[in-house]
Structures are given as C-alpha cells and as structure tokens.
Structure 1
Amino acid sequence: MTARRPRVGVLSFAHYHANFWSEVFASRGVLSGIWDDDAARGSEAAARFGTRFEASLDALLERCDAVAVCSETARHAALVDAASARGRAILCEKPLGTGLGDAEAIARIVASRRTWFMQSFPKRFDPATARLREAVAGGELGRITLARIRHGHFYGLAPDFAKAWYARRALAGGGALLDEGVHAADLLALLFGSPSSVVALTSRAALSLEVEDLGLAVFRWPDGMLGEIASSFTYAAADASIELYGTRGTMLVSAVDLASRDITSGACLRRFLSDSPERRWETLDIVPRFKQGEFHHQNAIAFVEALERGHPPPIGIEAGVAAARMIDAAYRAAESGVRIDL
C-alpha cells in the first residue's frame, strides 16, 4: 500500500469507542466525515468533532481512503463489504462478527478483494501486555500452568442497559462472553497460541437479558496449561484482571478493565519470584494505557500511522477470526455441557 496521509471516515457511532477513535482522527487532521444510520446521532457526533455528517454511505466512501467501522456487531459485515468494494482500508471494532460464521464470512470478503484490514484489539498496544509477553517468552515465571483473565464492566448495573443494543442478541450476537471475553481470548492466543479444548458456563441470572451477563470459559492448551476467561456486565468492582501463574513465579495486572481501572490506587503490575531472597511482591513500574485513559485511542493511532507509512495492518483479520473461534467453541461447550475440542 502506498504511504499517504489518509482521509478517514467513521462508519457509525453505535459503539462508544467511535468517540475515542474520532478524537485521534480529528487531532491528526485526517477525519473526513461521519456516516450513521441514526442521523441524529451521526449529526451530533460530527458537530462535536468538527467534521461533516454524510447521510449517504456511498457519498462518504467516495471521498475517503479509509474507514473505521464502529457499528452494532451485526452490521459489521455489510459495512465492511461496502467499504471493501470501494477499495478502502478498514479498521473494525471487536468482535469481528456476531459469531464464527459471520467472522469467517467477513474474512472471505476481505481476502477476495485483498483489502487492507485491521482488527481492533487494544490490549495488544498496552505496555502491560508487552511486559507479559516478555515474561512468557523469556521463561521469567517458569512454565506457565494457569492464566486467568477477568475482563468486564459495570454498565449492566445501570437501569437503562437493557435498552442498549448490546443486550439484544440480533444486534450483538452474544453477551458478556462475546463482547468482553473476546478481549481475553485474543490476549490468551497472543501469549500462548491456539488452545486445544474448552469447557464453559454462561448465566443470565443477574440481568435476565436475551444475552448472558456472565461467561466463564476454561481453555486447555496442548502442553496442559489452562487459561480462564471470566467476563461480565455486572462487575461492581474488581482488582487483578490478568493473572499468570508459573512454576517460578506469578505476575498480576490490575487497572486494565473498567471494573478495576478507577479503583486501583496502588501498583498496577506486580511480580512474585519464588527464588527471590525477599520473598515478597515486587512492583513493576508500568502503568497500563487503560489506567491512563488512553486505551481505545491506541487502535486509531496505530491505524493512521500504518497507513501513513505504507505498512501492513498491525493486527490482521486472522486475529479476529481466531478469537471468534475460541468464543464460538466456548458457547458450544456451555450449551452442550461437554468439553469442546478446537
């Protein structure tokens, strides 16, 4: 792809993350316009970010080089198809699709047209994640036997959450296990590769929505390591979000999800090494992007910089499909009550 200053259009403000992305695009002078099927919502966003609202999707695509898709998950495929047909580079919100079939269909569209496509997974740009990858790759904690990732928020406790599109299966595809758990699935795959099997449970007990408000999945890797995902819409508060347990030590990360960000006042990244003479927790001097209020901006920054430099996507569509495959297997395990092999 030829390096150039991109003209970026934002497709839908249905997902709140469009606000963070637009802050980046506007500050860098690349925001070309906004389209939204909700004209009032799109017009209000355009006024806030000092750009033009375009009621016609085709008209906006005509004058953009790239788009950021931030619609309801069920509408990702149609918007990706439209942008891809015009040869536009694409940044797409997570999860990639409403399920594995939807994600694979989007991947086929992208592959057939050789579309420049970036999947949004903001944890990948966090310095805390870089430190975890370093620890795993270097054997710092010994052999990792258990990884636990708790990722979620408290928005489900708000009285109007049931009215949001996230609570509707037809628009979201799933609940907490999909929308929040996909972050954890991608991080587990990034750190440890593809798992071999999964057992899982979901619950609608807290909110009684169409979709689950709580999901718990335990994956097994070929070497016997277990990785747990615990995702929820109803975490009133929490501390550690990422936990790595190895034969030589342990590493804990806090303040990397909404349930822990604002109430974590101490160390965000802690390490315990069993051969350390002090036999105590060490504080590592790393502050996660989420704690700094810069978490979701990183996708947009990486998107623009890759386009400006003519680089390939920092996160390809295969990552979105891989995470979708893990979550799909977890849903099937929860529905069947048996272990599912991937």
Structure 2
Amino acid sequence: MNRAFNFNAGPAALPEWALQEAQKELLNFRDTGMSVMELSHRSKDYEAVHNEAKSLLTSLLSIPEDYEILFLQGGASLQFSMVPMNLLQEGKTAYYALTGSWSEKALKEAQKIGQTAVAVSSKENSYKNIPALDSASIPSDAAYLHITSNNTIYGTQWQQFPTGLNVPLVADMSSDILCKPLNIEQFDLIYAGAQKNLGPSGVTVVIIKKDLLSRANDSLPTMLNYNTHAKNNSLYNTPPTFGIYLLSLVLKWVTNEGGLEAIAKRNNEKAALLYNEIDNSEGFYNGHADVDSRSNMNVTFTLNSDEASKAFLAQAKEAGFVGLNGHRSIGGCRASIYNAVPVENVERLAQFMNEFRKNY
C-alpha cells in the first residue's frame, strides 16, 4: 500500500512503526484475547499501558517529581476554560500573549471566567511574529501568564520562552510538544492536544506543578477540577484508552529514534529544506512568518498570485501531497511537518516546489 505524503495540520501523521504495532495487537492485545479498546480501564492490563505512557513521557521530557501528568479529554479547547476555572482566582488578573487564533480563543474563554489582560500581541502585524515580552510588565500578583508556544495557522513559534516571571507560566503546546528538548521547570502548567506530535485525537495531556494544584479552585464541577484527575491517576471515569495506548506507542517511537535531541535535529533539517525553497525562490514563494519567528512545525507561505496558488495546490494533490491548503481563515499554503513526517517526504515536497516554480 502506498502511504500518502501527509502534511495535515491535525489530526496529523503518526509514526508508521506505531501504526504497525497497533495493527499487530489490534485483535489480541498481549495475549488477553481482546483488543486494547475492549479492556476494562480498571484492569491490570490497561493500567500497565496507562502508567507506561506516563513513565515514557516523564523520561522523554525529564518531568520532575513535583509535577502531575494528566490524560484528559476535550482537546486544548476545553483547557481554554479549565485553566482559568482552576487558576483564575477572584481579584486576580490572567495575562495572555496573543500570537494567533488559538491564543485569541483561549483569551475569549478566560474572559468568561474572570479578569484578563493582554500582555503582548502581534495581531496588528497579522501575527507574523512572536512579539517581545517584557517580563517586568506582568504584575507579581497576576494569576498567570498564558502563551501558545506554536501557532499552526500563521506558522510562528516561540524561540525563547519568557523568563524572570514571578507568576505561573501556562503554555498551550498542542502543536509542538516533543519537537525539541524542553525545560519543564520553566512552566507551571503545559497542556497539549495529542493529535499533532503525541498521538491520535481524543487525548489531551496536561502537565501541572503540584504546588499549583494545591491552589486550584476546589469548588468546581467534578470533571472540570484538575484535582479530581490528579487524585485518581486520570481514571476517575473511563479515559480514551485506545488513544492513550497509541500515545504510548508514539512515545516509544520517539525514544527508539534517539529521544528529543535526535528529533529536534531532524525537525531542523526538515524545516530548512522548505524555508530554503521559499527564500531562494526570488519572491515566487513568500513565507508568512518573520524569519526570527518561523515555526519548525508549520511552514506557511503564499505564491505570487492566486492563480499560481490554485495551480500549485491542484498539482500537489495530483502528485500525492495531502493537507497543503492553508487554514481557511487566511488561505495560502501550509506544510505541517510534525515529528512523524519523514524527512524523505519533506525532500519530495521541496523538490516539487522547486520544479513547480521552474515550470509555472
């Protein structure tokens, strides 16, 4: 079977090895006579999968013991609400860095919960860059500062995270977690929908400092309270068991590939292939993001005319490339090159871009 050249923004490409392992065990998981989808989430067989996923993530990201790992549902979109519901106390203000559509949505949900303020924004620049943030401008009594580490629609990514803060730092890392080594201790809460670098859609990973948990709002509805899930190892109700199983396979794959240092090196190589085509095209291709804010996960660009863009996307589809349309809100083109996208596929795309430019 020919696999597509998958550049979808999410749900996105999964490692072929992980899919093959899941296929092998689909009908008979570890001699249980059942699929992992059929196991009780209270069984020892599933509990081993659940805890292995946590262990692998802890190892890959060097997560200290004073953090909890939660496997939740509802995607990052639910976290837009859960974060302020748990952490935005009355009388305090939550600060948001606006760097794209998803941070706008996170702010919108927080505004329904309590007092908010915009710490910094690049909206007036069409979200082409990550704006400079003066940490001193965030009051020490703020509830938290929220950032979106990578912006899938606009193709920008934080190159350096805020330092010198005296308030909790919260990050939506849905589209770039595991793309490179990370100092977890810089953050008090990280959340990430799985469907880019972690696994299939349906699982949301939350990494939260235990000290922050102790200060969370304890009067919330049960399922919206982080402490509910922390106290029950994310097994208060039935979790997305198959999604967590696939997540564990993806984490094994990352480990087998050499860990985050090796993954980061490969991601840099893939991004350079496409950005070199854009930069050397003499204006035929135009990158959306400023050079110092470019994402290694989502390469966004336009061609020098609408007609050329339409022809490019049509011919790319015929050549087997999937998911190159830009987000419906801004148009253009986008190549999402998450961890599981092979270097060979990116090389093929770069070659296609080069040939299209010469022949158009």
| TM-score where L is the length of structure 1 | 0.33
Q: Which has the higher strand share?
A: 1
For normalisation by structure 2, the TM-score amounts to 0.32
